[in-house]
Amino acid sequence: MNKSSTTPAARSAPGTVVPLEVLLVDDEETIRVTLGDDLAAAGHRVTSVGDGNEALKLVEARVFDVIVSDIRMPGIEGTELLARAKQLRQATEVILMTGFGTIESAVAALRAGAYHYVVKPFLNEDIVAHVARIAQMRALADDNARLRERAEREGFGSVIGRSRVMQEVICTVRTVARSDASVLIEGESGTGKEVIARAIHDASGRAAGPFVPLSCASLPESLIEAELFGHEAGSFTDARKQRRGRFELAQGGSLFLDDIDDMKIEVQVKLLRAIETRKIERVGSERLVDVDIRLICATKKELRQMVEAGEFRQDLFFRLNVVTLKLPRLQDRSEDVPLLFEHFLRAHGGGRPYEVKPEVMEELIRYPWPGNVRELRHAVERAIALAGEGRFLKREHLIPPADEFRSGARLSSRVPTLKEMVEDAEKEHIKQVLKLTRGHRAQAAKTLGISRKNLWEKLRDYGMEDV
């Protein structure tokens, strides 16, 4: 007897997870009835069938968020249903159940795209909990999509942020972009100063012209003048031909000077003259060249304090400080972390549907990100590179296990956490027992005092399936 039941949507409330469309497939009626009732009681809309072929017809005709399926049953097997469901809709999650579980079949199912693999007998609440986690991730993904749409609507170019402080920055960027005024962007390293500079240029009347960046920290003092103003052939060693500087290259567009706080006083004098006269002189030349540029500068230090310390010219500071934008640290706008994370996933994920579990996202939001947005971007790139065939990015690939940037003594090398020490000891002990039992899993589990299922889970979590 097949049972098809549809429950009304759960009562909506702030933070309530949207009910999912669940297809339950099993030829055991007791499982269909009891597990179906428990899933329905959790607020999900459940359709139950006892045949693989019938399930396939439903999957081809309707959209299901989750399929909970037995592997061995009349009609096609659960693994075939999994493959077909993933072909039709990659976002559908599949939980496979079986009474004939082996590590090999579990690994094969997970590699084929199954969300989870459950060995019978199982507790219904475990399945309900897995579906609840899928619902949480779906709600998080939907929320991030809404945030992304809002950022694209309320954001500015590639500037991403829905926090109040970033919305204030975006509002100022919108306003100042219309003018030709010089802009000074203040912020720690990694806060996205060049992104803001590009957004100003792209929204200005100079957008059709070039955007030319130059980091004042990346060049030695002997070369920065030639980089800014250009040089004539033979003006110094290796100057074999005439070369235009960044001022000339930015003609009709915007010149972005990053790390202006690293510019030496001697060069500051010549920069001030170029800003005031709108004329530059190539190194080794006596001819003045007219320049038409908009100047945008960035600093990681407080220039006013540098002026007071005699490290930065006051007259140049006043020239640069026409409009000042202060960029917040990422930890001061932590509500933007999910949105930035989604952006970097799209940028570096190669089109693959990578995800993180809700508890990992909560840790990402709490983490202080001393390297700011740049550190988050590198963390996402690293996690994707280390994900292999996995779909879920791991916490240990995203966040350092030991935060060296907090106050206190700086350790010369990383000290393992207590959890890591316990896990290492457990892995080593499991290896030794498997060696003693010559790889016999059932005997090893009995020797360790745990179930075969528990041993399989540990081998999977520790990446020891081949041990």
Cβ-based neighbour number of residue 406 at 10 Å: 9
What is the model's pLDDT at position 49?
94
Dump pLDDT digits (tens) for 138-194.
777 776 666 555 545 544 557 888 888 998 898 889 889 888 999 999 999 999 999
Half-sphere exposure of 418 (CA within 13 A, CB side): 0
DSSP string, 64-126: -SEEEEESS-SSS-HHHHHHHHHHH-TT-EEEEEESS--HHHHHHHHHTT-SEEEESS--HHH
Cα dist from 109 to 60, 78, 82, 462, 467, whole Å:
21, 10, 9, 18, 19
Q: Which domains does the chain have, with CATH numbers?
A: 21-143 (3.40.50.2300), 157-326 (3.40.50.300), 334-398 (1.10.8.60), 418-461 (1.10.10)
Give the whole-number percent of the chain exceeding pLDDT 90: 42
d(CA 23, CA 3): 11
Q: pLDDT tens digit string along 145-157? A: 665 555 455 445 5
Q: For residue 356, what are its two tokens?
A: 């993180």
Which pLDDT value is given to residue 357? 86
Q: Cα–Cα distance between 323 and 196 in angstroms, integer?
A: 13
Beta bridge partners of 211: 254
State the pLDDT at residue 402.
56
The tokens for 422 are 């316990």
- Angle of the 358-366 helix axis to the 337-348 helix axis, nearest 10: 110
- Total count of residues recorded for the chain: 467
In contact, 413 and 402? CB cutoff 8 Å? no
What φ, ψ does residue 282 adopt, rounded to 5°?
-65, 150
In a 3-state reduction of DSSP, which class is residue 400?
Answer: coil
d(CA 340, CA 335) in angstroms, rounded, equals 10
The tens digit of pLDDT for each residue in 434-460 reads: 888 888 888 888 888 888 888 888 888
Whether residue 67 has pLDDT greater than 90 = yes
Report pLDDT digits (tens) over 368-396.
999 999 999 999 999 999 988 778 899 99
DSSP three-state, residue 264: coil
Between 224 and 70, the higher pLDDT residue: 70
Residues 256-284: what's their mean pLDDT?
90
| Separation between Cα atoms, residue 232 and residue 285, nearest integer Å | 6
pLDDT tens digits, one per residue of 412-434: 455 667 777 778 888 888 888 88
> How much is the CA Rg of the chain, to the nearest whole Å?
30
- For every residue of 416-449, which 3-state class applies, written as one string? CCHHHHHHHHHHHHHHHHHHHCCCCHHHHHHHHC
- In which band, very low, low, confident or very high, does the pLDDT at 11 lie, cut at 50, 70 and 90? very low
- 8 Å CB contact between 167 and 153: no
For residues 79 and 70, what is the distance between their CA atoms, to the nearest angstrom? 9
Q: How far apart are CA 145 and CA 18, in angstroms?
A: 15
User: Locate tokens 């749409």: which residue?
Assistant: 149
Amino acid at 411: L
Q: Which helix (H) or strand (E) holds 287?
A: none
- Least confident segment among 52-56, 199-203, 336-340, 347-351: 347-351
Query: Which amino acid, one-letter code, is at 344?
Result: F
pTM for this prediction: 0.56
Cα separation of 394 and 384, whole Å? 9
Between CA 98 and CA 55 the distance in angstroms is: 17
Q: State the chain's maximal CA–CA distance in angstroms.
A: 96
Average pLDDT over all residues of the chain? 84
pLDDT score, position 314:
94
pLDDT at position 409 is: 43
What is the separation, in whole angstroms, between the first and last Cα of the chain?
Answer: 43
Asked whether the CA dihedral 428, 433, 434, 438 is positive or negative, the reply is positive
Q: What is the pLDDT of residue 149?
A: 59
Asked if pLDDT for residue 405 goes beyond 60, the answer is no
257 has a pLDDT exceeding 90: yes
Q: Supply φ then ψ for residue 394, to 5 degrees.
A: -90, 145
